[in-house]
Amino acid sequence: MELLDLIIREGKNLGAGEILASYRIARRLRVEIENNEVTRANQSVEKRIAINVVIDKRLATATTTIVSKEEILKIIRTAVNMAKASKPNRYWSELPDPKPLPKVGKLYDKNLVSLSAGEITEMAWETVEAALSLDERVSVSDGLIESVIMEKALATSKGFKGEEKGTLIWGYVSAVAKEHGEVGSFSFSIDASRELKVDFAELGRKAAKLAIESLGAKPVESFKGTLVMDPDVAWSFFSTFSSAYKADNVWKGSSPLAGKIGESIASSNLTIIDNGVMEGGTFSSLFDEEGSPRRETLVLNKGVLKRYISNTYIGNILGIEVTGNAASLLDVAPTNTVVLPGDMSEEEILEDVKRGIYVRRFSGDMRFQDGVVSGVAKQAFYIENGELKFPVKECMISSNLYDMLKNITGIGNKIEKKFNVYTPMIRIENIKIIGK
């Protein structure tokens, strides 16, 4: 924090009106998997200082990875000079005033801090061996395991001072099964935790099981029917949708949700929360990139759009509340996207489907700007009269994201964590399936 105090003091001496300074360090252990082998291990330390300067509504940012007093004084001068040379941002108001910070549990695990390169490499081998031992038809195509130890400090000329530290371990596995010359669809399995609680062997077994289940795929004729999204696909779907309720995208005109606060934009089954203070949440923290406290924000309630997520800059422009979602002074980002569970079991979601597909992976376009959803359904299964009949050879899905939100007829009762998205299984009607 002394370093940040120095930056603010020197910046003021050089004529800065407002200053935000941050320092972060990330220590990473990363092990990569390829073709049934643990192929590469890497250890790195990343340091970064960022200085944001405001002079008469003129904004500038300078960063460095060299942590020395000489370098810091140099980038302070650089930031101040750039600000003086910039044009005023007429929308700029001011940095936020300091506010009390929340308490968030399970963001730091000493066991992860003490994790060695040898131990994480052993985890990677256990992942591979668990997948291969499940069935001789399985190969692990690729994967990785990474642990991160993070420290962050942020201070502003308004008097905010915040420090926090956190840990994260995450990994994924992709596997494929082969039999009698047939190559199945590649599977994908991912998990993440702020504590050392990921069962990577189970991750490998899950990837292998999914790969085996895709063998024997058959083509289907084109039809219009029901789409059942596995949480892995719902992850991509709701990640895309989260960009639509970012207040910066609303203000810039790239989101169709502009002016729709209070309107029903989705099925009454659907409720979404942006939760930056979730215990153990992948993207949980105490404060955002402008020093505003993280919080829990109800975005969508039973299909009704309640609010956008915002930082102070956009909040002042649009006249809306600040939600602790600053990715920078000018940009907004979601934290943990939580789709509240419904009351349907997996069997109940499937039993009402007359004709449809259940999809575990999707490759293609999902665009929040115009809602276009177009791509290939992978790890897919044909559903008829409530039963999974057979795996489907890759077929296309064509729809619109905003129509899909309105046509949700089933939400599972079990949430799965997919990195920073927490979502159950989702059932959607009137989807165009393009087969052979």
pLDDT one-digit tens code per residue, 304-343: 999 999 999 999 999 999 999 999 999 999 999 999 999 9
Q: What mean pLDDT comes out for the span 292-301?
A: 99
| Integer Cα distance of 276 and 283 in angstroms | 7
- CATH architecture of the region 2-213: 2-Layer Sandwich (3.30)
| Neighbour-count burial for 145-178, b at 16+ CB within 10 Å, e otherwise | bbbbbbebbbbbbbebebebebbbbbbbbbbbbe
| Integer Cα distance of 56 and 205 in angstroms | 59
- At residue 126, the 3 state secondary structure works out as helix
pLDDT one-digit tens code per residue, 56-92: 999 999 999 999 999 999 999 999 999 999 999 999 9
Sign of the alpha-carbon dihedral angle for 113, 115, 121, 123: negative
Q: Report the 10 Å Cβ neighbour count for 416.
A: 16
100 CB contacts (<8 Å, ≥6 apart)? Answer: 293
Sign of the alpha-carbon dihedral angle for 370, 376, 382, 386: negative
Q: Which of 189, 39, 53, 29 is nearest to 118 (CA)?
A: 29
In sequence order, the β-bridge partners of residue 63 are: 50
Mean pLDDT of the chain: 97
Q: What mean pLDDT comes out for the span 407-422?
A: 98
CB 386 within 8 A of CB 350: yes
pLDDT one-digit tens code per residue, 197-228: 999 999 999 999 999 999 999 999 999 999 99
pLDDT for 436 beyond 90: no
DSSP state of 69: H
CB 266 within 8 A of CB 300: yes
| Integer Cα distance of 436 and 425 in angstroms | 27
Q: Which amino acid is at 165?
A: K
Task: Return the percentage of the chain with pLDDT > 70, whole number.
Answer: 100
Residue 37: pLDDT band (50, 70, 90) is: very high
Least confident of 128-132, 204-208, 391-395: 391-395
Q: What mean pLDDT comes out for the span 154-169?
A: 98
**DSSP-based helix, strand, coil % in the chain, nearest 5:** 25, 40, 35
Q: What mean pLDDT comes out for the span 254-266?
A: 98
Q: What mean pLDDT comes out for the span 256-284?
A: 99
In sequence order, the β-bridge partners of residue 46 are: 26
Cα separations in angstroms, 332 against 247, 278, 326, 383: 7, 19, 5, 40
Q: Report the 10 Å Cβ neighbour count for 136.
A: 10
Q: What mean pLDDT comes out for the span 118-134?
A: 97
**Three-state helix/strand/coil letters over 343-388:** CECHHHHHHCCCEEEEEEEEEEEECCCCCEEEEEEEEEEEEECCEE
Question: Can you give the pLDDT at residue 214?
Answer: 95
Q: Which of 8, 142, 95 is nearest to 326 (CA)?
A: 95
CB 208 within 8 A of CB 135: yes
Question: Can you give the pLDDT at residue 1?
Answer: 82
pLDDT one-digit tens code per residue, 340-355: 999 999 999 999 999 9
Residue 93: pLDDT band (50, 70, 90) is: very high
Long-range Cβ contact pairs of 252-256 (< 8 A, separation 24 or more): 254/368, 254/369, 255/368, 255/369, 256/368, 256/369, 256/370, 256/371, 256/402
Question: Can you give the pLDDT at residue 394?
Answer: 82
Question: Can you give the pLDDT at residue 66?
Answer: 92
Domain boundaries, the chain: 2-213, 217-436
